[in-house]
């Protein structure tokens, strides 16, 4: 069968760099760090006392008191991002076929604050099980996609993808596939996460996964720098409206870019560590290129997973060389996690947004906080250190890799009617 084309017609975001998509993108291009000391709780006894929080977030700015109390913060972020994206798409909700609009959302953890609070209250009590009746609906990861569909009345396919830090990239790939197979006209796709709480920070600290550069939070995320010492926790939500090309054209939609391929793979190697030779990362990029029917030389920019961990950055750079060969030296490569921190299950959606906007505007956001070269990396690779670079970006690829060896990549091309 002939596969349908899929385009992006709406964007929404609430992130450590801004409470809207335009603000987030503006700060990504400017190389702004979203990292600062934690304000959400007293982190003075934690090994890591900083994170990339959504700044000055107040649930009352978005939801009434009764409604807000029924949702974990990760769901609040999901609804905020989805509402902006739907508004940005200019879908006519009065006339559109809502049976043909679905929601696929990614979250690696779901309602960790809700789980932490309910269990803490129970343990501190007298043993009587007094749990909030919204405990389970607030905690489960799929509630975000459910509430987005309820908000707009979208009755198409609806589910949540869980693949650790690759979760929202998987959501985008699933939405892309449903549309090109003709099973839906439009999807609200993306991801959200809200793990900057005691349980989240303590758990990742126990794994020695987080940077402990408490004396300089704004420079702590240092992908590809010799002194990198772990990732920075981020939070927020990002939504993309994926739409069948003919459907978008018929209603005169503004098109940001075309999504042309998606790949998935598994490391099959270790609980948390990447494959030392980047085998899974190599395979996933090859799979995405094959799915798009593209040659490596057609890619101009890669938004890498680039978490600022000692092993992960090395294995990903090795994979890029394995896939792209000498063309790797013509690429711009950057890790926007240097600015946003790691949004876990929402990282893929945020980085997909940055990737497609690089294609649309011909500007590559930087990898900030580079101070010292690491001889582990090929010096001829262009990591777009410290400052955005203007160049023609015909097509770009975004990588996300998750604990458990889950890998997912998507490719965006400049839209040509």
Model pLDDT for residues 212-248, shown as the tens digit of each residue: 999 999 999 999 999 999 999 999 999 999 999 999 9
- Which of the following is catalytic: 35, 247, 275, 342? 342
Tokens of 72: 């974990």
Residue of 2, 1, 5, 3 whose CA lies nearest to 415:
5
In this structure, which long-range contacts are made by residues 291-297, counting pairs with CB atoms below 8 Å and at least 24 apart in sequence?
A: 291/261, 291/262, 291/263, 291/411, 292/260, 292/261, 292/411, 292/413, 293/260, 293/261, 294/260, 294/261, 294/395, 294/411, 296/323, 296/324, 296/325, 296/327, 297/327, 297/330
Dump pLDDT digits (tens) for 81-101: 999 999 999 999 999 999 999
- Which of the following is catalytic: 247, 305, 370, 406? 305
Tokens of 205: 């600290």
Dump pLDDT digits (tens) for 64-81: 999 999 999 999 999 999
Residue pointed to by tokens 């690759």? 166
- Which of the following is catalytic: 52, 165, 275, 370? 165
**Catalytic site residue 305?**
yes
**Catalytic site residue 342?**
yes
Beta bridge partners of 410: 262, 398
What is the set of domains in the chain, with CATH numbers? Answer: 7-250 (3.40.47.10), 263-413 (3.40.47.10)
Q: For each successive 10 residues of the chain (417 residues), what is the average pLDDT?
A: 96 98 98 98 98 98 96 98 98 98 98 97 93 96 98 98 98 98 98 98 97 98 98 98 98 98 95 86 98 98 97 96 98 98 98 98 98 97 98 98 96 94
This prediction's pTM: 0.97
**Catalytic site residue 165?**
yes
């Amino acid at each position: 069968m002939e596969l349908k084309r899929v385009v992006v017609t709406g964007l929404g975001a609430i992130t450590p760099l801004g409470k809207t998509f335009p603000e987030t993108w503006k700060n990504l291009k400017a190389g702004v760090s979203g990292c600062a000391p934690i304000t959400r709780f007293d982190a003075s006894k934690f090994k890591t006392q900083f994170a990339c929080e959504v700044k000055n977030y107040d649930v009352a700015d978005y939801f009434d008191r009764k409604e807000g109390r029924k949702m974990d913060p990760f769901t609040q972020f999901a609804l905020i991002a989805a509402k902006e994206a739907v508004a940005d798409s200019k879908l006519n909700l009065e006339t559109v076929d809502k049976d043909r609009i679905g929601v696929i959302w990614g979250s690696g953890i779901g309602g960790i604050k809700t789980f932490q609070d309910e269990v803490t209250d129970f343990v501190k009590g007298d043993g009587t099980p007094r749990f909030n009746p919204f405990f389970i609906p607030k905690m489960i990861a799929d509630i975000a996609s459910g509430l987005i569909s309820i908000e707009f009345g979208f009755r198409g396919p609806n589910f949540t993808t869980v693949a650790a830090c690759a979760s929202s990239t998987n959501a985008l790939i699933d939405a892309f596939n449903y549309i090109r197979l003709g099973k839906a006209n439009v999807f609200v796709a993306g991801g959200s996460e809200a793990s900057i709480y005691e349980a989240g920070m303590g758990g990742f600290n126990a794994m020695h996964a987080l940077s402990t550069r408490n004396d300089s939070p704004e420079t702590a995320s240092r992908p590809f720098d010799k002194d990198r010492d772990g990732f920075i926790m981020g939070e927020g939500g990002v939504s993309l409206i994926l739409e069948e090309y003919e459907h978008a054209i018929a209603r005169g939609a503004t098109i940001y870019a075309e999504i042309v391929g998606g790949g998935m793979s598994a490391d099959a190697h270790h609980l948390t560590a990447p494959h030392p030779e980047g085998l899974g990362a190599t395979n996933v990029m090859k799979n995405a290129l094959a799915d798009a029917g593209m040659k490596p030389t057609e890619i101009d920019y890669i938004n890498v997973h680039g978490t600022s961990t000692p092993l992960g950055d090395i294995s990903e750079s090795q994979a890029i060389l394995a896939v792209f060969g000498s063309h790797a030296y013509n690429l711009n490569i950057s890790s926007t996690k240097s600015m946003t921190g790691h949004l876990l299950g929402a990282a893929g959606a945020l980085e997909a947004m940055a990737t497609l906007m690089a294609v649309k505007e011909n500007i590559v956001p930087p990898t900030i906080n580079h101070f010292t070269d690491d001889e582990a990396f090929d010096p001829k690779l262009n990591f777009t250190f410290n400052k955005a670079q203007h160049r023609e970006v015909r097509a770009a690829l975004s990588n996300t890799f998750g604990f458990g060896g889950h890998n997912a990549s998507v490719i965006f091309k400049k839209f040509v009617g």
